[in-house]
Structure 1
Amino acid sequence: MTDTELLLAFYGDDFTGSTDALEGLADNGVRAVLFMEPPTPAELERFDDLDAVGVAGVSRSMTPEEMTAELPSIFERFADLDAPIVHYKVCSTFDSSPEVGSIGTAIDVAQEVFDSPFVPVSQGTEVPHGRFVAFSNLFAEQGGEMYRIDRHPTMRDHPVTPMRESDLRRHLGEQTDRPIGGVDRRFLESYTDLASAVDETAVDDEIVVLDALDSDHLARIGHLLWDRATDAQGQLFAVGSSGLEHHALVSHWDEIGLIDRTESFFDKRDPVDRIAVMSGSASAETASQIEWASDHGFQLVSIDTERLVDPDEAAEARDEVVESALDALDAGESVVLYSARGPDDPAIDATRERFEAVGIDEGLESYLGREQGRIFREVLQRADLDRACVAGGDTSSHVVSQLNLQALEAVAPVAPGGPLCRVYSDEEAFDGLEIALKGGQVHTENDEFDYFGAVERGGVERDQTKRT
C-alpha cells in the first residue's frame, strides 16, 4: 500500500462495470473508493491511505456529442490527481458503436487532456469474466461455450450496440481516425518481446490493441503499462476491461512491493435478517434469481409499471408498492420489488405502449428507473435496513442518484462483477448502508440462482484461487 500517492484513477463507462473494477482492486489488497463525481481534495481527505479512485460514469449510453460535453471536465480532474495510469474501463464485451458509447470518442477526448504516449487497449480478462483476445479478435464465454464476439448469442444481437466485428482494431477504427495497431500473442511469452513489440508498434500507431489468453499474458501487460506510465512525462491513458484491476496491474504492483495481495479489504460479512431488493432487470438470469428468492422465503412485490409511467396514476402506484414492501419487511421477511420477470414478461410491451400513449418527452428507461429509485429511497428510509440490493445496470444508476450517495467501497464478494459495497452519503439514513449492485447477467459461482440470498448472507468466502 502507498502512503500518499495514487496508483490508479479509473472511469467506468457504466455503473455496474465501475463496481466490477472496484471489486477487482479490493479483492487484491488495493484500497479503492468509487465516487459519483471526480473527488475534490476535501472529499479525498475523508479516506485514509487510498491507492486508487474511480468515478462511476454513464458514457456507455451517451452519444459522441454528449460524451464530448461530459468527459473533458472529468478527465481534467483526473489529470489533477496525478495517478500514473488513468483507465477508461469498458464492458468486457467491448460493445460500443460510432453512435452510442463510442470508445473511439472517449480516446479522442482523453488524448486532448493527457496526450498519452500511446493508448493501450487491454481487453482480456480470463478471471473472472472469461474474455480472451487473439490476433486482436475478442472471444467471450457464455454457458460454458466460447464464442467470437460477433457470433456471441447475446452480443451479436445486442439491442443498442450489436457486435458485428470481432477484430477490435476494425471495430474501434469505425469510432476514431487515430491509427490503430496490434501486438499479438506471439510477442506475449516474454516481457522483453512484449516491450519491444509495443514500442515498435507505437511508432506508427497511437492506439495499440493487446492480445491476452491467460494470466501470464495479463501479468506482463501490467508490468509493461506500469513501466511505461512511470517512464512517461505525463499520465498513461489506457482502455480496456476490468482485467487490469483483477489481474494485470495488481500482479505487477504486488511483485514490486507497492501492494500486498494477501491483505484483505474484501471479506464475507455477517448475515442480516432481511434485505430489500429493487429489480429493474428483464434478463432471464435475474428472472431465475427472483424465482429462487420466492422459493426461499423472500416476498415478491410486483411493480405496476403501466400505472407507474402514467403521471395521473404514478403516485398511487408508488404508494402501493412501498406499503406492500414495508409490510413484508416489518414482518421480518426479505422482499424483492420487481418490474419484470424475464424478457418475455408481457408487462414490458404493455408498459411501453402506455408510456407512448401518455406522450412523455423522455426515454422510458430513464423515466421508469427514476420512479423505481423514488420507491426504493422511501423503502430504505422507513425500514431502517442495514443491507439492500439493486438488479439492473441502468436501474442501479437511477437508484443511486436518489440516495445522495457520494462514494462506494467494496467490502465483500458476492459474485464476479457484483460485490457488496459500503455506502458513503451525507444523509444519515443511507450512510453506512451496505448495497450490492448487479448487472442483469451477474450470478454467483454455483449451480443455484441464489444471488439475492448470498447478499442476505453477507456474500461468500473470499476466493483465494483468483490469485494464481
Structure 2
Amino acid sequence: MTILLGCIADDFTGGTDLAGMLVQAGMRTVQLIGVPDGPLPDDVDAVVIALKSRTCPAADAVAESLAALDALREAGCLQFYFKYCSTFDSTPDGNIGQVAEALLQALDSSFTIACPAFPANGRTIYKGHLFVGDVLLGESGMRHHPLTPMTDANLVRVLQQQVRGKVGLAETSVVAQGADAIAARFAELREQGCRYAVVDALSNSDLMEIGAACATLPLLTGGSGLALGLPENFRRIGLLAPHAAAGALPATGGWRAVVAGSCSLATRQQVARMREQAPSFHVDPERLADGADLVAEALEWAAAHGGGAPLLLYATSTPEAVQALQARLGVEAAGALVENALAAIAQGLVKLGVGQLIVAGGETSGAVVKALGVRSLRIGPEICPGVPWTSAMLDGAAPDGAARPLALALKSGNFGAPDFFLTAWEELA
C-alpha cells in the first residue's frame, strides 16, 4: 500500500505528538526512532521519523533530515511534513529554517508554510506573533529554556534570520475566510517572491482550513496541530478510509514509573503534584556532577518500592539550578550528564519489571528510547493534547528472554496538566 504522509520530527516527543494527532484523525501511524536502515512498514498510512536534531549543530540537523527524507521518498510517500515544536524553538543558528530550506530544495519545490500553532495547548499565532497562553512567546517561560531560549515572538522575523528565501505572512483575516482564501494568499506571496509563509491560527478550525489549503504542497512545516487538517485531504481524493482501530495497542502489565528530566514549568508542577501522592526519588544533578552513583541508588530504591503505586524518578530542577550546573560543567556536558543517568535508570527500571513508562522531556526521551534500543513505536490513545501512549516491542525483555511490549509515553516538557503523571494510566485500562 502507499504511505500517504512522510514526516520528519526534530525530537522524539515531538514525533509522538504528531503521530498521535494523525492516529486521532484515523491514519494508521508508526513512529521510527532515527533514520531507518531498512524498508519502512507497509501496513500504515503515515510514518514519522523522529530525530534528535533540534539542538545539534545545524549542519548535522540538515544532513540527518535529508537522510530521513531520502528514506521517505524511497518508500513512495505522497506528501512530506517537517515537524518542530509549537514554541518554534531552535538553536540561535536556526535549525528550523536551515532544515526547512534544505528539504524544500531537495524536493525541488519553491514554497512552503510555517505554522507551529497548537491551540489545544495554548499556542496560537496572531499577525505573525506566537502566543503561549495569553503571553507572547518572548515573555513566556520559554525565554528561560536551558537549550533553546526564545526571546522573540515575531515568527516572520525569527524565520527570516534563518533562511535565504523571503518570508511572508498569511494573516488571521485571510485564514478566517477559509481554505480558498488561504490558497489565494499563498499564490500572492509566491508572486511576491516569498518561499515561506508564516500562517496565523487561533483555533482548530483555522488549522483544518489551513490543512485543506495545503493539499497540493509537497512540503509542510509546523507543529503537530497542523496535522489536524491533512488526513481529510487524502480522504477527499479516495486514498484514505476510516480506521476504527488506528490507535489500538497490545495489552501491557508490569510496574508503572515516571522518569522526568524536563525543567519546564509544566513538568515542575507535575513532579510536585506526584511527589505528594507517590514514592519519589530525586536524581540530583549536583550529586551526579560530584560523582555519586545515582543510577545504582535509584534502581536499589525502585526495587524496594516498586509493584504498587507508580514510581517517580526525577532530575527536574529550577531554571536557577540548571544555570548553576551549566556554569559549572558547560551546557552540553550538563545536559549529557543528566540525560545519560536517566537513560540508564530507565533501562534498569524495565529490567526490574516496569511495563508502563512515562518519560518527560524531549532530550530525556531521546536518550531513553536510544538506551532501550527502541526502533519503532505504534501510536495509541491520546492522554492529553499532544501526548499519546505508544507501544514498543523490546527484544529479550521478558524473563524467558522473549520480546515483550512496553507501553511508553514520551511527553514534551511543556505539555500536560499538573496531574498528568497521576491520571495518564487511565488510558491504558
TM-score by length of 1: 0.81
Contact kept in structure 1, 2:116 and 2:222, CA below 8 Å? yes
Is the Cα contact below 8 Å between 1:390 and 1:436 reproduced in 2?
yes
Q: Percent identity?
A: 27
Distance 1:212 1:175 in 2: 22
Deviation at 1:304, TM superposition (A): 4.2
Contact 2:255–2:353 (CA under 8 A) maintained in structure 1 = no
Which of residues 55, 62, 70 in structure 2 aligns to 1:76?
Answer: 70
| Structure 2 match to 1:239 | 221
- Correspondence list, 1:373-388, <5 A: 373-381=343-351, 383-388=352-357
1:301 aligns with 2:281: yes
Selected match of 1:51 from 45, 50, 54: 45
Aligned to 2:314: 338
Distance 1:269 1:289 in 2: 27
Structure 1 Cα separation of the partners of residues 354 and 178 of structure 2:
51
Q: Within 5 Å, which residues of 2 pair with 1:11-90?
A: 11-45=8-42, 49-90=43-84
Equivalent runs, 1:313-352 vs 2, <5 Å: 313-314=292-293, 317-330=294-307, 332-340=308-316, 342-343=318-319, 348=322
Give the 5 Å matches for 1:34-433: 34-45=31-42, 49-99=43-93, 101-126=94-119, 128-141=120-133, 146-150=134-138, 152-188=139-175, 189-203=177-191, 204-226=193-215, 228-229=216-217, 236-245=218-227, 247-259=228-240, 263-266=244-247, 274-296=255-277, 298-310=278-290, 313-314=292-293, 317-330=294-307, 332-340=308-316, 342-343=318-319, 348=322, 356=329, 363-381=333-351, 383-429=352-398, 431-433=404-406
What's the CA shift string for 1:27-53, capped at 9, x where partnerless? 1111111101233554525xxx30000
Quickly say closer, same or farther: Cα 1:213–1:389, change in 2 above 3 A. Answer: closer
Task: Name the SS for the 2:89 alignment partner.
Answer: coil
Residue 421 of structure 1: how far off its partner (Å): 0.9
> CA distance change for structure 1 residues 385 and 176 in 2, over 3 Å: closer, same or farther?
same
Query: For the aligned residues, what is the CA RMSD?
Result: 2.8
Deviations 1:132-189 (A, max 9, x none): 2233232331xxxx22333x32234444434343332221111111122222233331
Q: Give deviations 1:304-345, integer Å, cap 9, x for gaps.
A: 43343355x43xx32221111011115x3421112245446x
CA contact (8 A) 2:146 2:323 kept: no
Aligned length, in residue pairs? 423
Please give the alpha-carbon distance, in whole angstroms, between the structure 2 residues aligned to 1:156 and 1:294.
27
Unmatched 5+ residue regions in structure 2? none
Does the 8 Å CA contact 1:64/1:98 hold for their aligned counterparts? no
| Distance 1:29-1:391 versus aligned 2 partners, 3 A rule | same
> Residue 376 of structure 1 aligns to which amino acid in structure 2?
A
- Check whether the contact 1:18–1:34 (CA below 8 A) recurs between aligned residues: yes
User: Aligned-pair distance for 1:225?
Assistant: 1.5
Q: 2:54·2:91 contact (CA, 8 Å) conserved in 1?
A: no
Q: Distance in 1 between matches of 2:116 and 2:123?
A: 7
Q: Displacement, 1:405?
A: 0.4
Between the aligned partners of 2:201 and 2:406, the Cα distance in structure 1 is 38
Q: Deviations over 1:380-419 (max 9, x none)?
A: 11x2232111122211111111101011122122122222
Q: Deviations over 1:347-375 (max 9, x none)?
A: x577557x63xxx9962111221122112
- Provide Cα deviations, 1:196-252, integer angstroms capped at 9, x if missing partner: 2212321321222222233333222212221x24xxxxxx1211111122x221343
Distance in 2, matches of 1:271 and 1:74, equals 31
> Distance in 1 between the 2:33 and 2:341 partners?
20
C-alpha offsets along residues 15-35 of structure 1, whole Å, 9 cap, x if unaligned?
211111011011111111110
User: CA 1:62/1:324 → structure 2, altered by over 3 Å: closer, same or farther?
Assistant: same
Distance 2:80 2:224 in 1: 13
Amino acid across the alignment from 1:185 = T
Q: TM-score, normalised by structure 2?
A: 0.88
Structure 2 CA distance for partners of 1:343 and 1:243, relative to 1, 3 Å: same
In structure 1, what is the equivalent of residue 411 of structure 2?
A: 438
Q: In structure 1, what is the Cα distance between the partners aligned to 2:257 and 2:197? A: 44
**Secondary structure in 2 aligned to 1:116?**
coil
1:464 is aligned to none
Aligned counterparts of 2:233 and 2:88: Cα–Cα separation in 1? 24
| Counterpart secondary structure, 1:419 | strand
Distance 1:81 1:237 in 2: 16
State the 1:292 CA deviation.
Answer: 2.7
